[in-house]
Amino acid sequence: MTQSPTDDRLPASSVFNSARRTVDRRSILRGALFGVGSLAVAPLLAACGGDDDSGGDSGSATGTVTFGSNAAVPQPKGAYQTLFNSAKSATGLTVKPNWVDHNTFQQNISTYLQGNPDDVFNWFAGERMQFFAGQGLVSDVDDVWKKIGPNYTDAMKAQSKGEDGHYYLVPFDYYPWAVFYSKSLFKSKGYEPPTTWDEYIALAKKIKGDGLIPIAFTNKDGWPSMGTFDYLNMRINGFQFHIDLMRKGEDWNSPKVKAVFDQWRELIPYYSPGFAGLTWQEGAQQILNQKAGMMVLGLDQIGTIFTGAKADDLGFFAFPEIDPANGQDAVEAPIDGMMVSKSPKNKAGANKLLEYLGTAKAQQVWLGTNPADIATATGVDETKYTAPQKAATKLIQGAKNLSQFMDRDTRPDFADPVMLPAIQSFFNKPGDVSGILSNVDKQAKSIWAAGS
Amino acid sequence: MTAMEGAARSAPPVAKRRKLRQLSIRDRVVLSLMAGIPTLLTVGLVWVPALASVVLSFSTWTGFGDFSTIQWVGTENYKNIFTIYPPFQPAIEHNLIWLAVFFCVPGPFGLFLAVQLDKQIRFSRIYQSVLFLPVVLSLALVGFMTELIFSPTQGLINNLTGHAEHNVIDWLGNPSLNIWAVMVMACWRQAGYVMILFLAGLKSVDPSQKEAAALDGAGGWQTFRHVVWPAMRPINIVVLVITVIESLRAFDIVYVINKGTNGLELLSVLVTDNIIGAGSRIGFGSALATILLVISMIFIVPYLISMFRKDERA
């Protein structure tokens, strides 16, 4: 589509990279819109992909493919099991999963990839993918993309490429971050989803007046606070500033970032009591049990709490506008996918498995058992989506820019070791923003200087 | 045998050597294996990595690629740790709190329990098992139990005291409270450990000495102070060393609770945080590890010196 044709040939310089990123993010909107327009065509394309799978090179791609999965918790695990069963009948490949707890998997990924990794493994788009592609620890999957290319928008293609222009990821599912609430609670109390900051604060006051927790917030694991920071920064300073801040490690000690924390301070009185000791699951429970009004979280997380009959009660709205210049343009939408390790034991099988996983058909199988995400391939039957899934598609397609979440948009040795403690110390001493930021700035400079 | 004796005769007439040569070949092989394998293991698995950490602490390295990608930065990592790394100071403080609390609480309390159990009261073995039980649990498991007890909304304490709904006491999230909640649990486990050590020590005190003291008219306290306590000196040193080691290697319990952040920082956690993860800061983490090593040395070296001195005297 409208993606720059020079993309593949750009040198891997950071200046060009950030410029290219802008193009990529913008083109996501166009790509997503095209995705809707091409719904009628897409199933045909997907069907073609399926034909390729069952014929052609099936002679060489047989046997067992090992799969390192970060989805050890029951729900996605069951969904993956269903997926692997359908992969077996579609491709004849046996998938041997190696289940690892999500956080453990992320913690150990560098050791894992340098050791004896599985053929295929779960991973993420964005800096996270670039980082390992740049280290030469993964195989390119250009051959796979020759087959699955038509299933994806250009925006998704751009998110799957490394700095050298080769493909390293097959996107599988994604989900938006937003402000979630219980529809029935909002209806019974007469609350209206806010679109601006003032409305947001007014609603929080109203909820507090009704004796509820206005905003469920939890900071034991850091995810809700990282997501909140990303949104505040994108709403106040704009998408490009946010991405540059994450990528370059500069500007942390600037009035612009200080403004983010000043704005954030306004929310603290409305947060869950004892939030520093709570996990996001406990926060999501507060929304489910209608003890709290709203919560900034990802659909992938809270969707696993609102299940069964409760699924359609989960409502959300885009993080409110703070500066009209930025509006609600940017949406945080982390893309999950699969990558192939550097020297897989069954390369042909790994590629063939990825070809299958890159089809709308495969993703639909998976989403049928895991309705907390949406498919990345075009041509998925959206009538089978739950209400939150449909709304998520709409939110993402309406966005001008997509971010990937703090710990995916920045260096891994910065997000968790530096930003998590910094945000925690902000909540311990909300008045000392300058001290915290000047410290983050010094650490960022030292990390970027060491790593470049 | 004759061959052996021949070899012994042809050996230089040094007394020590002759003594050695009187051993059979098999004995010598066994002896050198017994001495050599542990030495190799200790050097290879303890000393080489420890020295490598010290060396790497003067570099920056992401851990990817070969050694040529290591950049040498001098004392930069140490400078950063002391100037711009906020978790460092709390980590040192918490390690010291851990040490002080372990020294003051489970130590004396374990001794108290041991003395009580040593009195052959009824059901002594049951008490002993109950008190020792937590020692069998891994600290990680104790971490999960800490969460069950102290979680602000779902934990036992807040629900019993009615602080779960309103006026929530954030035992695990409040950085000035959570270290103490964790210390309670760590002490609970440590007390059983210390108790068992002291109990073993008490059992080894010759009962006739106690009887003699009793005949001389010594009361319970006097017997303990002047007879039992001095006789337990070797155990006291073991307990002291265990206390230091356990407080420096504390890790699992805080890691389970919140990965050792927000009031639960420990040196061991900082080392792990920087070295393990999607992106490693090997140099920075090694510098932290070296600091931990130096602190351990402060406690270990005087202990070793006193031990060796004692050997010489004996």
B178–A contact, CB cutoff 8 A: yes
For residue B65, the chain A residues in CB contact (below 8 A) are 135-136
A109 pLDDT exceeds 50?
Answer: yes
8 Å CB contact between A87 and A357? yes
B8 pLDDT exceeds 90?
Answer: no
Q: Which residue from B178, B278, B280 is facing A106, i.e. has the nearest CB?
A: B278
B209–A contact, CB cutoff 8 A: no
- Pick the residue of B57, B58, B60, B62 with the most A CBs within 10 A to test the interface with A by mutation: B62
- Looking at residue A186, its pLDDT comes to 96
Q: State phi, psi for A339 to the nearest 5 degrees.
A: -130, 165
Q: Inspect the interface and report whether the beta carbons of B152 and A422 lie closer than 8 Å.
A: no
User: Rounded mean pLDDT of B296-310?
Assistant: 81
Number of A to B CB contacts under 8 A, please give it: 117
User: Rounded mean pLDDT of A201-206?
Assistant: 97
Residue A169, Ramachandran bin (φ over 0: left; ψ between -120 and 50: alpha; else beta)? beta
A106 pLDDT exceeds 90?
Answer: no
- Looking at residue A352, its pLDDT comes to 94
- Reference A326, options A423, A227, A403; nearest CA is A403
- Looking at residue A105, its pLDDT comes to 87
- Looking at residue A153, its pLDDT comes to 84
Tens-digit pLDDT profile for residues A233-252:
999 999 999 999 998 989 99
What does the DSSP assignment read for B85-144?
-TTHHHHHHHHHHHHHHHHHTHHHHHHHHHHHHTT--TTHHHHHHHHHHHHHS-HHHHHH
Strand partners, A381: none
CA A419 to chain centre: 18
- Reference A104, options B5, B11, B140, B15; nearest CA is B140
8 Å CB contact between B107 and B237? no
Tens-digit pLDDT profile for residues B164-209:
777 788 888 888 889 999 999 999 999 999 999 998 888 888 888 8
Q: Inspect the interface and report whether the beta carbons of A109 and B278 lie closer than 8 Å.
A: yes
CA distances, A291 to each of A295, A372, B227 (Å): 11, 22, 63
Residue with tokens 């039992």: B228
Structure tokens at A413: 């040795």
Q: Helix (H, G, I), strand (E, B), or coil: what is residue A230?
A: helix
β-pairing, B71-72 vs B59-60, is antiparallel
Where is average pLDDT lowest: A145-154, B146-155, B304-313? Answer: B304-313
Of residues A230 and B211, which shows the higher confidence score?
Answer: A230
Q: How close, in Å, is residue A228 to chain B by CA atoms?
A: 18
Q: Inspect the interface and report whether the beta carbons of A413 and B172 lie closer than 8 Å.
A: no
For residue B260, the chain A residues in CB contact (below 8 A) are none
- Looking at residue A358, its pLDDT comes to 94
For residue B280, the chain A residues in CB contact (below 8 A) are 110, 413
- Looking at residue A67, its pLDDT comes to 94
For residue B60, the chain A residues in CB contact (below 8 A) are 450-451
Q: Which residue from A274, A412, A425 is facing B279, i.e. has the nearest CB?
A: A412
pLDDT-derived band at B313, boundaries 50, 70, 90: low
Q: Cα–Cα distance between A95 and B258 in angstroms, integer?
A: 34
Strand partners, A177: A298
User: What's the DSSP call for residue B228?
Assistant: I
B213 pLDDT exceeds 50?
Answer: yes
8 Å CB contact between B117 and B128? yes
A402 pLDDT exceeds 70?
Answer: yes
- Looking at residue A304, its pLDDT comes to 87
* Percentages of chain A per state (helix, strand, coil), in multiples of 5: 55, 15, 30
B214 pLDDT exceeds 90?
Answer: no
A278 pLDDT exceeds 90?
Answer: no
Q: How close, in Å, is residue B150 to chain A by CA atoms?
A: 9
Tens-digit pLDDT profile for residues A34-46:
333 333 333 333 3
Q: How close, in Å, is residue A127 to chain B by CA atoms?
A: 11
- Reference A385, options A366, A367, A397, A399; nearest CA is A367
Q: Cα–Cα distance between A200 and A296 in angstroms, integer?
A: 12
Q: How close, in Å, is residue A247 to chain B by CA atoms?
A: 14
User: What's the DSSP call for residue A93?
Assistant: P
Nearest C-alpha in A relative to B169? A274
What does the DSSP assignment read for A296-363?
EEEHHHHTTTS-GGGGGGEEEEPPPBSSTTTTT-EEE-PEEEEEEESS-TTHHHHHHHHHHHTSHHHH
Q: Which residue from B87, B168, B278 is facing A128, i.e. has the nearest CB?
A: B278
List the 282-311 stretch of B: residues with Cβ below 8 A of A. Answer: 283
Q: Inspect the interface and report whether the beta carbons of B173 and A107 lie closer than 8 Å.
A: no
8 Å CB contact between A388 and A181? no
Q: Inspect the interface and report whether the beta carbons of B261 and A424 lie closer than 8 Å.
A: yes
For residue A282, the chain B residues in CB contact (below 8 A) are 151, 153-154
Of residues B129 and A194, which shows the higher confidence score?
Answer: A194
For residue A434, the chain B residues in CB contact (below 8 A) are none
pLDDT-derived band at B21, boundaries 50, 70, 90: low
The most confident of A276-280, A439-443, B1-5, B146-150, by mean pLDDT:
A439-443
User: What's the DSSP call for residue A98?
Assistant: E
Percent of chain B with pLDDT over 70: 91
List the 37-66 stretch of B: residues with Cβ below 8 A of A. Answer: 60, 62-65
Mean pLDDT, chain B, integer: 85
8 Å CB contact between B201 and B242? no
For residue A425, the chain B residues in CB contact (below 8 A) are 86
- Looking at residue A23, its pLDDT comes to 37
pTM: 0.78
Q: Helix (H, G, I), strand (E, B), or coil: what is residue A120?
A: strand
Percent of chain B with pLDDT over 90: 32
User: Rounded mean pLDDT of B132-136?
Assistant: 87
- Pick the residue of A131, A223, A424 with the most B CBs within 10 A to test the interface with B by mutation: A424
- Looking at residue B279, its pLDDT comes to 66
- Looking at residue B3, its pLDDT comes to 46
Nearest C-alpha in B relative to A410? B279
Mean pLDDT, chain A, integer: 84
Q: Inspect the interface and report whether the beta carbons of B279 and A411 lie closer than 8 Å.
A: yes
β-pairing, A401-403 vs A330-332, is parallel
Q: Inspect the interface and report whether the beta carbons of A111 and B276 lie closer than 8 Å.
A: yes
- Looking at residue A180, its pLDDT comes to 97
pLDDT-derived band at B15, boundaries 50, 70, 90: low
Residue with tokens 């940017």: A330
Q: Name, in order, each residue with C-beta under 8 angstroms of B8's C-beta and a sequence gap of 6 or more.
A: B18, B21, B22
Q: Helix (H, G, I), strand (E, B), or coil: what is residue A71?
A: coil
User: Rounded mean pLDDT of A306-320?
Assistant: 92
Q: Cα–Cα distance between A96 and A358 in angstroms, integer?
A: 19
A17 pLDDT exceeds 60?
Answer: no
- Looking at residue A220, its pLDDT comes to 86
Of residues A338 and A307, which shows the higher confidence score?
Answer: A338
Tens-digit pLDDT profile for residues B226-285:
888 888 888 888 888 889 888 888 898 898 888 888 889 999 999 988 887 766 788 999
Q: Which residue from A114, A274, A446 is facing B80, i.e. has the nearest CB?
A: A446
- Looking at residue A58, its pLDDT comes to 41
Q: Which residue from B178, B258, B278 is facing A110, i.e. has the nearest CB?
A: B278
Where is average pLDDT lowest: A28-32, A107-111, A127-131, A441-445? Answer: A28-32
Q: Which residue from A114, A277, A450 is facing B173, i.e. has the nearest CB?
A: A277
Q: Inspect the interface and report whether the beta carbons of A450 and B60 lie closer than 8 Å.
A: yes
- Pick the residue of A103, A108, A219, A220 with the most B CBs within 10 A to test the interface with B by mutation: A220
Nearest C-alpha in B relative to A449? B60
Q: Cα–Cα distance between A130 and A143 in angstroms, integer?
A: 19
Q: Name, in order, each residue with C-beta under 8 angstroms of B78's C-beta and a sequence gap of 6 or more.
A: B57, B287, B291
Q: Cα–Cα distance between B140 and A5 in angstroms, integer?
A: 53
Percent of chain A with pLDDT over 70: 86
- Reference A12, options A117, A162, A229; nearest CA is A162
Nearest C-alpha in B relative to A106? B278
User: Rounded mean pLDDT of A113-120?
Assistant: 91
- Looking at residue A252, its pLDDT comes to 95
